[in-house]
Structure 1
Amino acid sequence: MSTPTSPRPEAANASGCPFSGRTFNPFVPPHHENMQALFAQARREQPVFFSEAMGAWVLTRHEDICAALEDTQRFSSNLDSQILESLLPEPRAYLVNAGYRNLPLIYDDPPAHTRSRQIVARLFTKENLAALEPLVRGITEELVDGFAQDRQVDLVSRLAYPLPIRVIFEWMGLPSEMKDSFKKWSHDLTMMLALQARTLELQNECVRGVTDMQRCVAELISERVAHPREDGLTVLAQAMREGTTLDAAELAAMVMLLISAGHETTASLLGMAVRVLLEQPERWRQLREEPHTLPRVVEEVMRYETPTAILARKTATQVELGGVTIPAGVRVLIVMLSGNRDEQRFAEPDSFDPKRPQLGQHLGFGRGIHVCVGAGLARLEARVMLEVLTRRLPGLRLVEPPRLVPGSVRHHEQLLLAWD
């Protein structure tokens, strides 16, 4: 099989390799139904390749993924220019004129990333997470109260999605009556960042939602500067009171990241965990009998299903990786979903095994300086949810196989469960 050194789909097609062709995109039909088999073949035969359909180079091996994620000088996270270039002139001008601030952390390189992470990390100290557990447990119990007598439930709409968004809202001190608005704005932000808004109408809708969200949060943070409370927004507002160069709009961008990335990926993790455990009832029974294994179970779910399927980077210079030359200034898609099933890193990668010795090497929360700052909260919510469900609804079972919605963040359309 040939090894391309530049994006030349015609040469790749001549070699017969499916991973370099014009149409390869594992997140759309028909490929999405058999993604893991395709990625396994890619890891064996051409682990670094160019996909014209995705407009990017693709990394599939654990080793190459780690190399890219840990090398911030050659693999930049600053994708703002690509996001702006994806917009048509009218929505691009609206976004700029509205004073939109780029999201920190995930789209920052050092030293800006270092500054942003130090501020956001104040929210996720061990002490803060320990103090949050009663809130997480209380919301979980309340949500389960709402359907415990029904004997059937769509876990996505009744628990997996509302739990993380309610935790974020109550913790940060966001107005509960604005949940629906923030849900819509978060969707607009995700569409814009993932370059999925293609039409002028959709792009205009997204940029208006994104700027409305940032304006709303900035106003709330400014209010916290003047009138502090006991909530997360006040913790972030403290940075302004300390006289840093940050303003309310920059801090608002951090909150937007927490809301959009935090609740979608955690909701995916919660649904995935329950589905994986119920697919083989023995797993559910064993968890009920051995609740002390919960932390390892959550880690294995992150490896086995990996809610965040891909991350994007941009090459700052020409790079040699996996025996392939990747040009400078191109988009690189890092397939975490594939790296977590790499047989060179994990023994029997397609088996669910919380006892595996390499568990800590999974990529579910990222790697390097960009490792998920909210990973501790996601782990807490997953652990508490599974504790409550195994105790209160020990006879849970799947009603029907759920449909997995493909995308950069994978989730179930619904997860129908029943119990006696």
Structure 2
Amino acid sequence: MVRVTGCPARYDDQLGYWIVDDPVLAREVLLDPQTFRPDNAVLAHTPLSVKALRVLSGVGFALPPTLANNAGESHRPIRAAVARFFSPARVAAAEPLTRELNAARVTAASKALADGHEVDLVQAIAAEPPALVVLHLLGLTNVDVPALKAWSLDSLELFWGWPDEDRQLELAHSAAEFYAWLRARTTAARKAPGDDLFGVLVGLGLTDEEVCAVGYFLLIAGQETTTQLISTAFQRYLDDPGTTVEQVLQEASSVPTWRRVTAHRTTLGTTDLPAGTPVLLGLTGHGGPADLAFGLGIHRCLGAGLARLETQVALDCARRLLTGVRLLEPPPMIDLLSFRAPKRLMVTSRPQAAGRH
């Protein structure tokens, strides 16, 4: 999106949102959740078809207010319970595992390149470590990571994409499968409470629907957005080896926008907005600070520190590999309302660097 100087908010007919790209105004919106509510944060951008809704209702799919879409009294205790999994001490303690996972994948990718193979840096390096690390932090075991990755991408497309009815139906089946898995984990936690994510949420007194809602988006946001941030960092490093994590967050974060809706008539800058106005905030790429990429206030991303750590570690581990490869094609993109990153980064060794891999 292009920032319009002197225009605090502009209506986009195609998207159906008032666009706020000014980082100062975006900050104001994020810090006033009573006026600019998060009620629409996880609603499907493209209205779901009857067929898709039937598939979801078949597994009792529901997303009551819990974290990102909650401005009520229940938000604080839920957030506090989840935040303990991402404390600075726990994140710091996860760094050795993060380095081990990345180093192993970089070694494997380097060998494949040395053997003359083409490598997709997204799948080879960026995809799985964030999932394995967040599952470790949340105390979750026996999770099919490839399935989690597929469920995550499908759910992002379902809720933030522009799928037609046929595609919606495919995505709804995937989301229903994910939700059924969450239901099973919740049921198991009720029978044998533990200290993992589901055990803690059950112990908090949440309903099954609330537990599943927290798990649904936490297990997506806790790893897939970091995979996408790492993928973007790799892409930008290939163009400019001086690229830093902070620059990526400031200029091209994997979560470039986020949604809010006005609770009542209000004024944003010099623009009057009636109650119920959907607003789309530009979080990155408009001259604001890197930290804005994670949001602000009571809904700031709980995994901000973890995402920074994992992206820095991934760059550190892959730096030598990245300087010795070249892209084979312009990368196809994940390009959704609030998520943007390369789908693939197909590379091969540069001829002059072939002997070093």
What TM-score range do you get, normalising by the shorter chain? 0.7 to 0.9
Change over 3 Å in CA distance of 1:264–1:240 after alignment to 2: closer
CA distance in 1, matches of 2:332, 2:13: 25
Change over 3 Å in CA distance of 1:203–1:276 after alignment to 2: closer
Matching residue within 351, 360, 363 for 2:292: 363
Number of paired residues?
A: 342
Q: Write the letter of the residue equivalent to 1:260.
A: I
Q: Which residue of 2 aligns with 1:98?
A: 59
For 1:335-350, list aligned pairs within 5 A.
Answer: 335-337=282-284, 340-342=285-287
- SS for the counterpart of 1:364 is helix
Q: Which residue of 2 aligns with 1:56?
A: 17
Q: Which residue of 2 aligns with 1:17?
A: none
Spell out, residue by residue over 1:118-142, the C-alpha distance to the aligned partner (whole angstroms, 9 max, x if none). Answer: 1211210122212222221221122
* Fraction of identical pairs, as percent: 26
User: Offset at 1:116?
Assistant: 2.1
Spell out, residue by residue over 1:223-268, the C-alpha distance to the aligned partner (whole angstroms, 9 max, x if none). Answer: 2454466xxx724413423xx3313442232222122223221112
1:183 maps onto 2:112 in alignment: no
Q: Which residue of 2 aligns with 1:415?
A: 345
Matching residue within 299, 304, 326 for 1:375: 304
Change over 3 Å in CA distance of 1:394–1:215 after alignment to 2: closer
User: Offset at 1:372?
Assistant: 0.6
Mapped contact 1:79–1:107 kept (Cα < 8 A)? yes
Q: Write the letter of the residue equivalent to 1:175.
A: N
Q: Which residue of 2 aligns with 1:220?
A: 185
Change over 3 Å in CA distance of 1:240–1:386 after alignment to 2: same
1:279 maps onto 2:239 in alignment: yes
**RMSD over equivalenced CA pairs, Å:** 2.8
Q: Write the letter of the residue equivalent to 2:142.
A: P
Q: Which residue of 2 aligns with 1:26?
A: none
Q: Write the letter of the residue equivalent to 1:316.
A: A
- SS for the counterpart of 1:334 is strand
User: Offset at 1:301?
Assistant: 1.7
Spell out, residue by residue over 1:3-39, the C-alpha distance to the aligned partner (whole angstroms, 9 max, x if none). Answer: xxxxxxxxxxxxxxxxxxxxxxxxxxxxxxxx4xxx1
Q: Which residue of 1 aligns with 2:230?
A: 270
For 1:300-315, list aligned pairs within 5 A.
Answer: 300-315=247-262
User: Offset at 1:416?
Assistant: 3.6
CA distance in 2, matches of 1:237, 1:388: 34
User: Offset at 1:112?
Assistant: 2.7
Change over 3 Å in CA distance of 1:73–1:239 after alignment to 2: same
Mapped contact 1:225–1:238 kept (Cα < 8 A)? no
Q: Which residue of 2 aligns with 1:131?
A: 93
Q: Which residue of 2 aligns with 1:23?
A: none
Mapped contact 1:58–1:333 kept (Cα < 8 A)? yes
TM-score by length of 2: 0.85
**Which structure 2 segments of 5+ residues have no match?**
none
- SS for the counterpart of 1:110 is coil
User: Offset at 1:393?
Assistant: 3.5
Q: Write the letter of the residue equivalent to 1:182.
A: L
1:79 maps onto 2:40 in alignment: yes
1:204 maps onto 2:149 in alignment: no
* Higher mean C-alpha deviation, range 258-267 or range 392-401: 392-401
1:109 maps onto 2:71 in alignment: yes
CA distance in 1, matches of 2:46, 2:127: 32
Q: Which residue of 1 aligns with 2:265?
A: 318
User: Offset at 1:145?
Assistant: 2.2
User: Offset at 1:75?
Assistant: 1.0
Q: Which residue of 1 aligns with 2:326?
A: 398
CA distance in 1, matches of 2:184, 2:259: 31
CA distance in 2, matches of 1:186, 1:413: 13
1:259 maps onto 2:224 in alignment: no
CA distance in 1, matches of 2:185, 2:12: 43
1:121 maps onto 2:83 in alignment: yes
Q: Write the letter of the residue equivalent to 2:326.
A: L
Mapped contact 1:65–1:334 kept (Cα < 8 A)? yes
Q: Write the letter of the residue equivalent to 1:112.
A: S
Which of structures 1 and 2 has the bigger CA Rg? 1
Spell out, residue by residue over 1:390-414, the C-alpha distance to the aligned partner (whole angstroms, 9 max, x if none). Answer: 3x54743433574362332111132
Q: Write the letter of the residue equivalent to 2:30.
A: L
CA distance in 1, matches of 2:71, 2:329: 41
Q: Which residue of 2 aligns with 1:158?
A: 124
Mapped contact 1:188–1:210 kept (Cα < 8 A)? yes
CA distance in 2, matches of 1:260, 1:375: 14
CA distance in 2, matches of 1:415, 1:239: 38
CA distance in 1, matches of 2:316, 2:86: 22
CA distance in 2, matches of 1:107, 1:323: 27
CA distance in 2, matches of 1:384, 1:117: 27
Mapped contact 1:84–1:92 kept (Cα < 8 A)? no
1:237 maps onto 2:202 in alignment: no
Mapped contact 2:225–2:254 kept (Cα < 8 A)? yes
Spell out, residue by residue over 1:48-77, the C-alpha distance to the aligned partner (whole angstroms, 9 max, x if none). Answer: 111111111111101111111111111111
